[in-house]
């Protein structure tokens, strides 16, 4: 069986981030990492290889040339090869455009499972898995704490406030997993060295059968304004007081805001 | 193009989910601005009999997608058929089910989508949304690009719209149009396991008392539970506490856990690292209790109490009980 | 000659640093306090292919250049000096085999060392023979198809946890240490071998420094390294290379101390300002940083010369170890000073780093021995005759 893991390169959490003059996210000069939530998808795919259920894992990413770094890091953890889709028309692509491109690429790669993390760190919309499934007309198995494959079927174990369910669908599927999959493995030194030799292809929009018109300029929404949030009053501090006095002050503070 | 404001209304165990009621309120507000109706897309167990009651919260109509207990994503084809009739906007809860349905609509109808918004309005007949981005350091205003299909999908976090006491109206319930065949309908529940104890849905809590590494262990959460109870709220945790097994994973707040928006968040023994912050920074009031005066949480809390949480939390619980009793 | 730090070096450094910060640093205080060998971290390093960097591909290693091997040690030592000894001693123990073993001996033993399945230690020092290696007294008596080893060793790093040892013993006692010593590969499971005690030390407390006893330990002929009488030469050739590992360790310890001192000074406030804003503290930090960098670059320069098989190899490696060891001691002492009273207590790591740093001035040739080596090379270059 074959899995394609979709990953995204994002700015490191906590890095200094800004908008450019044309109100796009300024990704230049910032340390880039694999979207942390995608690492769980990578880990899940590699576990299925370890178990022998899956024979091949391909990584797919859409982004600027620099995104090839994220693909190499993924290959260093394991897996067989990678595809980078890069095209000037994709700058500033929103989730819809991203889903459209990934869906087209996935149709070409035709995996049994297209696997993703549950959301992206910087944009947090998490609509890509569902949109890709809809565009490709395949079932969606989302928010899995675990992915299992058997004859012609995929299942995810999804946690709920009342326990968990196993949700199943016939292959091929789009699936997304959460951090409950477990700690992603470190790339070993041999893995890092081997990753340099694993095949990586670069595709343009045309290679997946799309044109920039198909993407309507890359985004269906646009930012019309950006501003700093309302200034918050500075943090009030309570320190060096005995507990009962401090507690009384906190209660006063809460009462003043009608919270108790 | 119609000026209606659609919204997803999930029903579970025979009653509308809290999100359904909140979105009804929000949709009604927007509908008043757009001059259209608030229209529910109701699905899940109890939707057939309960959809009309959404009228009490401002829905004029309810389109019944289905009444069965099946994974929310399988209702996507029916939702698409309903949304195709048009509308200015479609509100979806920023929950896993809401996001999946929203995503399917985006994928099938090429709709513009706005990630969790802090505010939405209709200005000059156009939908406008406000989002906090880059860890809350920038507020952006966005609109759909001209000429894109309608409705625009808007993800809404819990506690963004506050339901009022509810009126007396009932919504007119109509059956959904026939849905097209779709592979999305092929997911089904193969096995179901109930846990021993039901875990509170943190995303809906208005008061959260969260514990982090400083709590030190499972027993340490006792005082936090007492405080949460005194405040009528829920207990949450940082990733460190959840990973250590001190509380269930479903109570983890942060980048890989829940995103919460309570009116009051009290973080005890939590340092306030960015991975946790992104899960709670839109809380209305943030109180931090930490014995480290330089903990990062002190920078964005509204009130920072530098003290030992095991002294302060019980004292605060007692003080609150005293005031409530009085 | 020049040396180049490549993107591969940076990538290796980033990889090891991540591992060190996430998994090794959090264990450092506990390892020091409990004086326990960190088996879990040894497993981690083995799994990450970090114990095989000095071995060839064909033996399951990754054959990294010497600069890369130094970077590996440096980044681990920055987090914990004890743990950095694991790759250091794995190389130290294996060097005699790498330098003088037959292909058959290498094929027999190196794969298990490269994978980290087995640990190896270097057993040269004796109670009465430290700096004076030639004063060794342990005997290896030729008996039938092999040798019988009798005697004891002292201060053998990892001697009590190793599966394999390279051991130096006299096959010809009359000829004395320089001409009569031979080298052997000994499996510690062999009957008659024991590690009866380990030392209580000032620093690197999680690393077992063992006394070893050999009571009629039988060693087959094909476990002898090189010819009889070559032992001293093999030992010196080994130390000429292995001391670079100590230089790298010292650089790492210094860097860790510098980082800790800087972070503390940037945070701590006295007299209404941050400690780091006092010019005097800035000068101290600047000295710490530039000295650490100098030690680092000298270590890399020496590493490049090892790979180039320079004829004056010992001049370089001894210089690097000499400078780096002294820098580590100075920088860690300064770090404690910058932290003031807090530097003295176990709540902060710098007191441990200072205790750890001291050993880099002592083992694998004391600083005094290094000076002798450098001086000898210096005189040789200048054509000045050396006495005796």
Same-domain pairing of C203 and C125 = yes
Q: What is the CATH number of the domain that holds B235?
A: 3.40.50.1220
Give domain status of residue B278, yes or no: yes
C11 is catalytic: no
pLDDT digit string, tens, across residues A62-118: 999 889 999 999 999 999 999 999 999 898 888 999 999 999 999 999 999 999 998
Same-domain pairing of C248 and C374 = yes
Rounded to whole angstroms, the Cα distance separating C88 from C67 reads 13
What is the overall mean pLDDT for chain C?
96
Q: Nearest Cβ partner of B250 from A161, A223, A229?
A: A161
- In this predicted structure, what is the pLDDT of residue B110? 95
Same-domain pairing of C245 and C310 = yes
Neighbouring C-alpha atoms within 13 Å toward the C-beta of C276: 14
- In this predicted structure, what is the pLDDT of residue B168? 73
Same-domain pairing of B42 and B171 = yes
pLDDT digit string, tens, across residues C170-184: 999 999 999 999 999
What's the complex ipTM? 0.88
Supply A201's token pair. Answer: 């292809």
Domain that holds residue B296: 202-325
* Inter-chain CB proximity C49 and A187 less than 8 Å: no
pLDDT digit string, tens, across residues B117-131: 989 999 988 999 998
Give domain status of residue C28, yes or no: yes
| Chain A residues near residue B188 by CB distance under 8 angstroms | 167-169
Give domain status of residue C1, yes or no: no
- Mutation target to probe the C interface, by most C beta carbons within 10 A, among A32, A189, A192 is A189
- In this predicted structure, what is the pLDDT of residue B62? 95
- pLDDT higher than threshold 80 for residue B272: yes
Other CB atoms within 10 A of residue C204 CB: 28
Rounded to whole angstroms, the Cα distance separating B23 from B7 reads 6
Residue B175 backbone dihedrals phi, psi, to 5 degrees: -75, 150
pLDDT digit string, tens, across residues C267-280: 888 999 999 999 99
Q: What percent of chain B has pLDDT over 70?
A: 98
Rounded to whole angstroms, the Cα distance separating C318 from B191 reads 68
What is the overall mean pLDDT for chain B?
91
Give domain status of residue C31, yes or no: yes
Q: Environment class of residue C273 by beta-carbon count within 10 Å: exposed (0-12), middle (13-18) or buried (19+)?
A: exposed
Neighbouring C-alpha atoms within 13 Å toward the C-beta of A173: 29
- pLDDT higher than threshold 70 for residue A25: no
Same-domain pairing of B253 and B290 = yes
Give domain status of residue B298, yes or no: yes
Q: Nearest Cβ partner of A235 from B140, B191, B301?
A: B301
Rounded to whole angstroms, the Cα distance separating B78 from B176 reads 7
Q: What is the CATH number of the domain that holds B130?
A: 3.40.50.620
Q: What percent of chain A has pLDDT over 70?
A: 90
Asked if the C-beta of C115 comes within 8 angstroms of chain A's C-beta atoms, the answer is: no
Give domain status of residue B244, yes or no: yes
pLDDT digit string, tens, across residues C87-115: 999 999 999 999 999 999 999 999 999 99
Asked if the C-beta of A187 comes within 8 angstroms of chain C's C-beta atoms, the answer is: yes
| Domains, chain A | 2-218 (3.40.50.620)
- In this predicted structure, what is the pLDDT of residue B14? 87
Integer CA distances (angstroms), C155 to B308, C207, C363, in order:
47, 11, 9
Tell me the residues of chain B between 19 and 48 that have a Cβ less than 8 Å away from chain A. none
Asked if the C-beta of B164 comes within 8 angstroms of chain A's C-beta atoms, the answer is: no
Same-domain pairing of C224 and C251 = no
| Chain A residues near residue C47 by CB distance under 8 angstroms | 188
Integer CA distances (angstroms), B65 to B174, C47, C60, in order:
9, 53, 61
Same-domain pairing of C170 and C278 = no
What is the overall mean pLDDT for chain A?
89
Same-domain pairing of B313 and B251 = yes
| Chain A residues near residue B95 by CB distance under 8 angstroms | none
Q: Which residue has the higher pLDDT, B176 or A54?
A: A54
- In this predicted structure, what is the pLDDT of residue A16? 52
Q: Nearest Cβ partner of A134 from B76, B152, B319?
A: B76
Rounded to whole angstroms, the Cα distance separating B289 from B298 reads 9
Rounded to whole angstroms, the Cα distance separating B319 from B231 reads 11
Which of B152, B186, B220 terminates a domain? The answer is B186
- pLDDT higher than threshold 60 for residue B207: yes
C-beta separation of A211 from A166 below 8 A: no
Q: What is the CATH number of the domain that holds C95?
A: 1.10.540.10
| Chain A residues near residue C11 by CB distance under 8 angstroms | 192
Supply A5's token pair. Answer: 């893991």
If you average pLDDT over residues A154-180, what whole number do you get?
92
Rounded to whole angstroms, the Cα distance separating B144 from B128 reads 8
Give domain status of residue B57, yes or no: yes
- Find chains touching chain B: ≥3 CB pairs under 8 Å: A
Q: Nearest Cβ partner of A223 from B100, B142, B194?
A: B142
Which of C90, C114, C138 terminates a domain? The answer is C114
Same-domain pairing of B140 and B13 = yes
The 3-state DSSP composition of chain A as helix, strand, coil percent (nearest 5) reads: 30, 30, 35
The helix-helix angle for B96-109 and A95-109 (nearest 10°) equals: 80
Which of B162, B186, B210 terminates a domain? The answer is B186
Rounded to whole angstroms, the Cα distance separating B181 from C106 reads 66
Q: Nearest Cβ partner of A129 from B103, B190, B301?
A: B103
Same-domain pairing of B182 and B212 = no
* Inter-chain CB proximity A186 and C50 less than 8 Å: no
What DSSP line would sit under B186-250, residue for residue?
G-EEEEEEE-SSPPP-GGG-SEEEEE-GGG-STTTHHHHHHHHHHHT-EEEE-HHHHHTTSS-GG
Task: For residue A102, give the chain B residue with the closest CA.
Answer: B107
Same-domain pairing of B209 and B177 = no
Same-domain pairing of B111 and B220 = no
Same-domain pairing of B210 and B61 = no
* Enclosing H/E stretch for C55: none
Give domain status of residue B98, yes or no: yes
Q: Nearest Cβ partner of A247 from B99, B199, B312?
A: B312
Same-domain pairing of C142 and C62 = no
Q: Which residue has the higher pLDDT, B295 or A203?
A: A203
* Inter-chain CB proximity A180 and B249 less than 8 Å: yes
Active-site residue among C126, C228, C351, C364?
Answer: C364
Count of the separate structural domains present in chain B? 2
Give domain status of residue B51, yes or no: yes
Q: How confident is the model at residue A208 (pLDDT cuts 50, 70, 90)?
A: very high
| Chain C residues near residue A193 by CB distance under 8 angstroms | 62
- In this predicted structure, what is the pLDDT of residue A19? 57
Residue B224 region by backbone torsions, left for phi larger than 0, else alpha for psi between -120 and 50, else beta = alpha
- pLDDT higher than threshold 80 for residue A27: no
Count of the separate structural domains present in chain C? 3
Domain that holds residue C192: 120-228
If you average pLDDT over residues B273-290, what whole number do you get?
88
pLDDT digit string, tens, across residues B81-103: 999 877 999 999 988 899 999 99
Q: Which of A21-35, C191-205, C297-311 bottoms out in mean pLDDT, i.e. has the lowest?
A: A21-35
Same-domain pairing of B161 and B297 = no
pLDDT digit string, tens, across residues B145-183: 998 999 999 999 888 898 877 677 889 999 988 888 899
- In this predicted structure, what is the pLDDT of residue A30? 57
- In this predicted structure, what is the pLDDT of residue A18? 57
- In this predicted structure, what is the pLDDT of residue A29? 52
Residues 6+ apart with CB under 8 A from C280: none
Same-domain pairing of C108 and C124 = no
C-beta separation of C249 from C88 below 8 A: yes
- pLDDT higher than threshold 90 for residue B195: no
Rounded to whole angstroms, the Cα distance separating C157 from C212 reads 10
| Chain C residues near residue A188 by CB distance under 8 angstroms | 47-49
Give domain status of residue B316, yes or no: yes
Residue recorded with tokens 């499934």: A133
Rounded to whole angstroms, the Cα distance separating B59 from C361 reads 80
Helix (H, G, I), strand (E, B) or coil at A44: helix
pLDDT digit string, tens, across residues B13-22: 889 999 999 9
- In this predicted structure, what is the pLDDT of residue B201? 80
Same-domain pairing of C200 and C257 = no
Q: What is the largest CA-CA distance in chain C?
A: 79
Q: What is the dihedral of CA A163, A169, A173, A175, to 10 degrees?
A: 0
What distance in Å separates residue C87's CA from the closest CA in chain A?
A: 14
Same-domain pairing of C169 and C214 = yes
C-beta separation of C77 from C328 below 8 A: no
Picking from B107, B256, B195, the residue whose alpha carbon sits closest to that of residue A157 is: B195
| Chain B residues near residue A128 by CB distance under 8 angstroms | 103
If you average pLDDT over residues B20-26, what whole number do you get?
95
Q: How confident is the model at residue C61 (pLDDT cuts 50, 70, 90)?
A: very high
Radius of gyration of chain C, Cα coordinates, nearest whole angstrom: 21
Same-domain pairing of B135 and B42 = yes
- pLDDT higher than threshold 60 for residue C213: yes
Q: What is the CATH number of the domain that holds C279?
A: 1.20.140.10
User: Taking the model in full, what pTM does it have?
Assistant: 0.86
Same-domain pairing of C220 and C196 = yes
* Inter-chain CB proximity C49 and A186 less than 8 Å: no
Helix (H, G, I), strand (E, B) or coil at C14: helix
Give domain status of residue B286, yes or no: yes
Residues 6+ apart with CB under 8 A from B53: B16, B170, B171
Asked if the C-beta of B307 comes within 8 angstroms of chain A's C-beta atoms, the answer is: yes
Supply A153's token pair. Answer: 């079927």
pLDDT digit string, tens, across residues C123-152: 999 999 999 999 999 999 999 999 999 999
Asked if the C-beta of B256 comes within 8 angstroms of chain A's C-beta atoms, the answer is: yes
- In this predicted structure, what is the pLDDT of residue A179? 87
Same-domain pairing of B37 and B121 = yes
Which of C114, C145, C161 terminates a domain? The answer is C114
Integer CA distances (angstroms), A107 to A4, A55, A129, B222, in order:
11, 19, 14, 52
Same-domain pairing of B118 and B217 = no
DSSP state of A123: T
- In this predicted structure, what is the pLDDT of residue A114? 98
Asked if the C-beta of A183 comes within 8 angstroms of chain C's C-beta atoms, the answer is: no
Task: For residue B106, give the chain A residue with the closest CA.
Answer: A131
Q: What is the CATH number of the domain that holds C209?
A: 2.40.110.10
Same-domain pairing of C137 and C240 = no
Give domain status of residue C387, yes or no: no
pLDDT digit string, tens, across residues C25-56: 999 999 999 999 999 999 999 999 999 999 99
pLDDT digit string, tens, across residues C335-381: 999 999 999 999 999 999 999 999 999 999 999 999 999 999 999 98
- pLDDT higher than threshold 90 for residue C313: yes
* Inter-chain CB proximity A170 and B186 less than 8 Å: yes
Which of C93, C114, C135 terminates a domain? The answer is C114
| Chain A residues near residue C62 by CB distance under 8 angstroms | 189-190, 193
pLDDT digit string, tens, across residues A123-155: 565 899 999 999 999 999 999 999 999 989 999
Give domain status of residue C388, yes or no: no
pLDDT digit string, tens, across residues C279-299: 999 999 999 999 999 999 999
Same-domain pairing of C205 and C142 = yes
DSSP state of B131: E
Q: How confident is the model at residue A231 (pLDDT cuts 50, 70, 90)?
A: confident
* Inter-chain CB proximity A247 and B318 less than 8 Å: yes
* Inter-chain CB proximity A189 and C11 less than 8 Å: no
């Amino acid at each position: 069986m074959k899995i394609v893991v979709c990953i995204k390169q994002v700015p490191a959490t906590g890095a200094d981030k800004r908008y450019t003059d044309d109100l796009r996210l300024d990704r230049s000069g910032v340390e880039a990492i694999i979207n942390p939530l995608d690492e769980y998808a990578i880990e899940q795919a590699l576990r299925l290889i370890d178990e022998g259920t899956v024979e091949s894992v391909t990584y797919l990413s859409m982004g600027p040339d620099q995104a090839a770094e994220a693909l190499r890091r993924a290959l260093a953890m394991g897996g067989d090869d990678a595809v980078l889709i890069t095209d000037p028309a994709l700058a500033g692509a929103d989730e819809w455009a991203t889903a459209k491109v990934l869906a087209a690429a996935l149709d070409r790669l035709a995996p049994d499972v297209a696997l993703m993390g549950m959301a992206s760190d910087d944009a947090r919309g998490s609509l890509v898995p569902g949109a890709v499934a809809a565009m490709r007309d395949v079932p969606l198995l989302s928010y899995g704490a675990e992915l299992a494959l058997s004859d012609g079927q995929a299942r995810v174990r999804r946690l709920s406030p009342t326990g968990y369910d196993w949700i199943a669908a016939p292959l091929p599927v789009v699936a997304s997993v959460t951090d409950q999959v477990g700690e992603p493995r470190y790339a070993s030194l041999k893995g890092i060295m081997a990753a340099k030799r694993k095949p990586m292809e670069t595709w343009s929009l045309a290679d997946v059968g799309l044109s920039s018109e198909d993407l309507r300029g890359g985004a269906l929404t646009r930012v019309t304004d950006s501003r700093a949030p309302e200034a918050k009053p500075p943090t009030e501090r309570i320190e060096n007081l005995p507990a009962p006095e401090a507690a009384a002050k906190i209660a006063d503070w809460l009462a003043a805001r009608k919270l108790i | 193009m119609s000026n209606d404001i659609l919204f997803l209304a999930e029903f579970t165990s025979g009653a509308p989910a809290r999100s359904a009621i909140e979105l009804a309120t929000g949709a009604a507000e927007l509908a008043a601005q757009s001059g259209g109706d608030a229209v529910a897309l109701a699905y899940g167990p109890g939707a057939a009999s309960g959809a009309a009651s959404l009228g009490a919260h401002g829905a004029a109509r309810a389109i019944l997608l289905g009444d069965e207990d099946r994974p929310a994503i399988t209702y996507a084809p029916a939702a698409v058929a309903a949304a195709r009739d048009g509308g200015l906007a479609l509100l979806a809860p920023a929950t896993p089910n809401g996001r999946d349905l929203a995503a399917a609509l985006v994928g099938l109808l090429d709709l513009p989508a706005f990630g969790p918004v802090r505010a939405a309005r209709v200005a000059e007949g156009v939908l406008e949304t406000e989002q906090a981005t880059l860890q809350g350091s920038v507020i952006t205003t966005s609109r759909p690009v001209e000429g894109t299909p309608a409705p625009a999908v808007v993800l809404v976090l819990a506690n963004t719209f506050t339901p009022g006491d509810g009126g007396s109206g009932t919504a007119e319930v109509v059956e959904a149009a026939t849905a097209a065949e779709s592979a999305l309908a092929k997911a089904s529940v193969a096995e179901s396991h109930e846990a021993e104890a039901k875990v509170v849905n943190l995303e809906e809590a208005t008061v959260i008392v969260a514990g982090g590494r400083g709590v030190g262990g499972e027993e340490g959460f006792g005082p936090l539970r007492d405080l949460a109870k005194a405040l009528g709220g829920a207990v949450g945790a940082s990733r460190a506490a959840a990973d250590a097994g001190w509380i269930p994973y479903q109570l983890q707040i942060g980048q890989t856990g829940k995103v919460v928006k309570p009116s009051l968040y009290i973080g005890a023994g939590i340092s306030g690292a960015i991975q946790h912050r992104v899960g709670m920074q839109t809380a209305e009031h943030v109180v931090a209790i930490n014995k480290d005066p330089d903990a990062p949480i002190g920078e964005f809390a509204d009130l920072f109490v530098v003290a030992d949480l095991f002294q302060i939390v019980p004292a605060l619980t007692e003080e609150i009980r005293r005031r409530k009793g009085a | 000659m020049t040396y180049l730090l490549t993107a591969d070096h940076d990538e290796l450094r980033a990889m090891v640093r991540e591992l060190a910060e996430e998994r090794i640093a959090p264990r450092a205080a506990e390892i020091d306090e409990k004086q326990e060998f960190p088996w879990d971290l040894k497993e981690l390093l083995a799994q990450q292919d970090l114990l095989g960097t000095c071995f060839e591909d064909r033996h399951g290693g990754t054959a990294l250049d010497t600069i890369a091997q130094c970077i590996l040690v440096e980044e681990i030592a920055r987090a914990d000096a004890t743990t950095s000894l694991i790759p250091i001693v794995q190389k130290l123990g294996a060097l005699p085999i790498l330098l003088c073993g037959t292909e058959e001996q290498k094929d027999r033993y190196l794969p298990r060392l490269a994978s980290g399945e087995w640990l190896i230690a270097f057993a040269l020092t004796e109670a009465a023979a430290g700096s004076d290696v030639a004063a060794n007294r342990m005997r290896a008596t030729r008996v039938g198809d092999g040798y019988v080893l009798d005697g004891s060793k002292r201060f053998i790093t990892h001697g009590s946890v190793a599966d394999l040892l390279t051991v130096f013993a006299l096959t010809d006692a009359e000829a004395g240490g320089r001409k009569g010593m031979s080298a052997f590969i000994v499996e510690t499971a062999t009957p008659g071998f024991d590690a009866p005690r380990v030392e209580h030390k000032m620093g690197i407390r999680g690393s077992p420094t063992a006394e070893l006893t050999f009571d009629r330990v039988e060693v087959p002929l094909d476990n002898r390294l090189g010819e009889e009488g070559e032992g001293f030469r093999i030992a010196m050739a080994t130390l000429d290379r292995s001391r670079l590992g100590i230089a790298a360790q010292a650089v790492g310890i210094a860097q860790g101390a510098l980082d800790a001192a800087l972070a503390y000074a940037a945070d701590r406030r006295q007299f209404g300002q941050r400690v780091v804003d006092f010019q005097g503290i800035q000068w101290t930090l600047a000295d710490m940083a530039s000295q650490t960098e100098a030690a680092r670059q000298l270590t890399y320069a020496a590493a490049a010369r090892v790979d180039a098989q320079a004829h004056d190899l010992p001049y370089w490696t001894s210089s690097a170890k000499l400078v780096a060891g002294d820098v580590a001691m100075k920088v860690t002492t300064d770090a404690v000073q910058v932290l003031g009273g807090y530097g003295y207590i176990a709540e902060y790591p710098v007191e441990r780093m200072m205790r750890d740093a001291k050993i880099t001035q002592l083992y694998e040739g004391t600083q005094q021995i290094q000076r002798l080596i450098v001086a000898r090379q210096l005189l040789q270059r200048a054509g000045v005759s050396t006495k005796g």
